[in-house]
Amino acid sequence: RDWNILSQLKGTTTTTKTSQTGVTSLKAPNLNGYCESWRVNVELNNIRDFKVVPQECVWFVQKYMTSSQYEDDVERAVDEAILYLGKTCCEKKTCDGMDAWIFDIDDTLLSTIPYHKSNGCFGGEQLNTTKFEEWQNSGKAPAVPHMVKLYHEIRERGFKIFLISSRKEYLRSATVENLIEAGYHSWSNLLLRGEDDEKKSVSQYKADLRTWLTSLGYRVWGVMGAQWNSFSGCPVPKRTFKLPNSIYYVA
């Protein structure tokens, strides 16, 4: 059973269409449109809290995440972020060292696509936390395309970079090595979830860290992540940049 909801929706099974030449052809349900609509609404945070990608759309999510379109979409986000950088205070007066930028790690700086490829599913199964962390611990994640460029553009403008991740504290050394190997360096702080943080939702944990940064006097100019949990809650960052990812949902 493939849990394809389209096969049971009335009126969207095969329809007959007569072309100009009078030839009758069968038109399949528009699965592409259906799945793109699902994917877009996940990105917009209209569809939340799903545990698995709809089974009839797993192929579509995989196709998108491994396509040049995905890379182009990331590149566009990077370009918009760089454009935004041009308007920040560091261009206008002497930096006081209190301008901050926050990056998430998974699917923002480092890509998890190889994990999903090797495990044969793109959201079709519930994420196996144990296996996923083993993979993270191997430290072989490649950089998300175009992100190394943005990272250093931000760093060179004098921003303090804070890496806030939902990865667990025990993955610190593997994460550091992976980041360096992928081309990232000179961040101000790498913040991972300790045991106390694991009791909070990821959204709350990340919001608490933004609160902490602002209490130290930092101005958070931008937050970049692949899940909405990087942006939710107070304090609200000045700008947020979301990279596409509908493979899984972390609240």
Partner 1 sequence: GRKDLPGAGGYGGDDDDDTKSLFPLDNLLSLNYYDRICPDFEKIVVTKVREWTKSDSSLGPALLRLIFHDCGVTGCDASVLLDYEGTERRSPASKTLRGFELIDDIKSEMEKSCPGKVSCADILTSASRAATVQLGGPYWPNVYGRRDSKHSYARDVEKVPSGRRDVTALLETFQSYGLNVLDLVVLSGAHTIGKASCGTIQSRLYNYNATSGSDPSIDAKYADYLQRRCRWASETVDLDPVTPAVFDNQYYINLQKHMGVLSTDQELVKDPRTAPLVKTFAEQSPQIFRQQFAVSMAKLVNVGVLTGEDRVGEIRKVCSKSNSRAY
Contact residues for partner 1 (CB under 8 A)? Answer: 1, 3, 5, 8, 49-52, 54-55, 124, 126
Measured from the CB of residue 53, what is the shortest distance to partner 1 in angstroms? 8
If the CB atoms of residues 50 and 212 are measured against partner 1, the closer one turns out to be 50
CB of 56 to partner 1, least distance (A): 9
State in angstroms the smallest separation of the CB of 58 from partner 1: 10
Shortest Å, Cβ 6 to partner 1: 10
CA-CA distance, 95 to 112, in Å (whole number)?
Answer: 35
Alpha-carbon distances of 130 from 15, 133, 135, 194, rounded to whole Å: 45, 5, 9, 17
Which DSSP helix (H) or strand (E) runs through 213? helix 202-215
Minimum distance from CB of 52 to partner 1 (Å)?
5
By CB atoms closer than 10 A (0-12, 13-18, 19+), residue 196 is: exposed
Q: With contact defined as beta carbons under 8 Å apart, do 131 and 93 qualify?
A: no
Backbone angles phi, psi at 128, to 5 degrees: -85, 105
Burial class (CB in 10 A: 0-12, 13-18, 19+), 29: middle
Q: Which is nearer to partner 1, 188 or 204 (CB)?
A: 204
Q: Which is nearer to partner 1, 55 or 232 (CB)?
A: 55
